[in-house]
Amino acid sequence: MNIALVTGASSGFGQAICRKLVADGYKVIGVARRGDKLQKLADELGINFTFLTLDVTKKDAIESILLQLPKAFQPIDILINNAGLALGLEPAYQADFNDWETMIQTNIMGLIHLTHQILPSMVERNFGYIINIGSVAGTYAYKGGNVYGATKAFVKQFSANLRTDLLGKKIRVTNIEPGLCGGTEFSNVRFHGNNDQAAAVYKGIDYITPEDIANTISWLVNTPAHFNVNSLEIMPVAQAPAGLALYKESE
Ligand X SMILES: NC(=O)c1ccc[n+]([C@@H]2O[C@H](COP(=O)([O-])OP(=O)(O)OC[C@H]3O[C@@H](n4cnc5c(N)ncnc54)[C@H](OP(=O)(O)O)[C@@H]3O)[C@@H](O)[C@H]2O)c1
Catalytic residue among 26, 148, 202, 207: 148
Cα–Cα nearest to 118, from 83, 79, 69: 79
Is 80:4 a contact under the CB 8 Å cutoff?
yes
Residue 140: active-site member: no
Cα–Cα nearest to 145, from 183, 113, 106, 99: 99
User: In what helix (H) or strand (E) does residue 157 lie, and over which residues does it extend?
Assistant: helix 146-165
- By CB under 6 A, name the one of 5, 84, 145, 220 that touches ligand X: 84
Residue 30 binding ligand X, by CB under 6 A: no
**String of contacts with ligand X for each residue 135-164, x by CB under 6 A:** x-----------------------------
- By CB under 6 A, name the one of 88, 110, 128, 145 that touches ligand X: 110
Residue 88 binding ligand X, by CB under 6 A: no
User: For ligand X, which is the closer residue by CB, 3 or 176?
Assistant: 176
Q: How far apart are CA 7 and CA 65, in angstroms?
A: 14
Residue 184 binding ligand X, by CB under 6 A: yes
Cα–Cα nearest to 122, from 154, 165, 181, 158: 165
User: For ligand X, which is the closer residue by CB, 75 or 183?
Assistant: 183
**String of contacts with ligand X for each residue 8-27, x by CB under 6 A:** xxxxxxx-------------
C-alpha distances (whole Å) from 68 to each of 63, 65, 130 are 9, 5, 21
CA torsion, ordered 186, 89, 131, 4, to nearest 10 deg? -30
Number of C-beta neighbours around residue 119 at 10 A: 20
Cα–Cα nearest to 69, from 86, 87, 52, 85: 52
Instruction: Tell me the β-bridge partners of 172.
Output: 129
Is 34:10 a contact under the CB 8 Å cutoff?
yes
User: For ligand X, which is the closer residue by CB, 74 or 188?
Assistant: 188
Residue 192 binding ligand X, by CB under 6 A: no
Residue 117 binding ligand X, by CB under 6 A: no
Residue 180 binding ligand X, by CB under 6 A: yes
User: For ligand X, which is the closer residue by CB, 50 or 127?
Assistant: 50
CB 84, min distance to ligand X, A: 2
- By CB under 6 A, name the one of 45, 82, 95, 99 that touches ligand X: 82
- Looking at residue 223, the DSSP 8-state letter turns out to be S
User: For ligand X, which is the closer residue by CB, 123 or 155?
Assistant: 155
Catalytic residue numbers? Answer: 148
Binding site for ligand X (CB under 6 A): 7-14, 32-34, 37, 55-57, 82-85, 106, 110, 133, 135, 178, 180-181, 184-186, 189
